[in-house]
Amino acid sequence: MRTIGLIGGTSWHSTIPYYRLINEGVGKVIGEQANPELIIYSINIELMREQDRPKIYRKYTEVAQKLEAAGAEAIVICANTPHMVYEHVQPKIGIPFLHIAHAIGAEAKRLGLKKLGLLGNKPTMTGDFIPKILERSYGIETIIPEAHSLQQSHRYVSTELTQGKFTPEARKFFLDQVHLLKKRGAQGIILGCTELPLLLKEGDADIPLIPTTQLHAQMAVDYILENDHNT
């Protein structure tokens, strides 16, 4: 089995499901008598809240290099937004960075979806680090909520979901956004905050909800087991 380096802490609430899902996924294949070797580095979430991009890039590069030096054979960031660092970090390490957008794209392709709505915090929704890969590698168009809803979505993510608060008000807001994005042509919705799958579940909407946490964790499982499957 390959060893994965996990960068967590943004938030720690989402790091826990990653750890659990990866261990459970590998356990289903190899049996519960063993588990994969994982190296976890948990970053202080205040780094992301400062929104100092150069500082964020430096920290994630430093951590990825430490994980590589410790024996990691790939890097997995246990959150959506920090994938903004991909183009800055990947050239500075010698191991692959398993990008969450490829997990999303593979699932959308499996479901035959060509237009997706994207929910999350403001940097994730307005950034290009997910839509660019989806368009370039999978031919998928991404749309986001109207401008007046972006800040409200960001507020719910940053002040509630990443702090482990899951309120009826937040649930209603995001379900309303799902409905509005569907009206604009979305065939499925990317739950682009790692905590959103803890708030919304498959079956809560009449179009597919794409749970980035579960899909990204399965991507890590597949990578961990790839050598075993090929031998």
CATH level 3 topology of 4-99+215-229: Rossmann fold (3.40.50)
- 92-145 pLDDT tens trace: 999 999 999 999 999 999 999 999 999 998 989 999 999 999 999 999 999 999
Cβ–Cβ < 8 Å for 10, 206: no
Q: Which of 151, 146, 122 is nearest to 51 (CA)?
A: 122
**Which part of the chain has CATH 3.40.50.1860?**
4-99+215-229, 101-212
User: Looking up tokens 């990317």, which residue turns up?
Assistant: 190
- 167-191 pLDDT tens trace: 999 999 999 999 999 999 999 999 9
Give counts: helices (H), strands (E), the chain: 11, 7
For 41, the enclosing helix (H) or strand (E) is strand 38-42
pTM reported for the whole predicted model:
0.89
- 145-169 pLDDT tens trace: 998 899 999 899 888 887 888 899 9
> What phi, psi does 210 have (nearest 5°)?
-95, 105
Q: Does the domain formed by 101-212 have CATH 3.40.50.1860?
A: yes
Q: Is the pLDDT of residue 26 over 80?
A: yes
Six token digits for residue 188? 């499925």
Cβ–Cβ < 8 Å for 100, 106: no
- 177 class by beta-carbon count within 10 Å (0-12 exposed, 13-18 middle, 19+ buried): buried
Instruction: Of 15-24, 43-52, 88-97, 202-211, give the lowest mean pLDDT range.
Output: 43-52
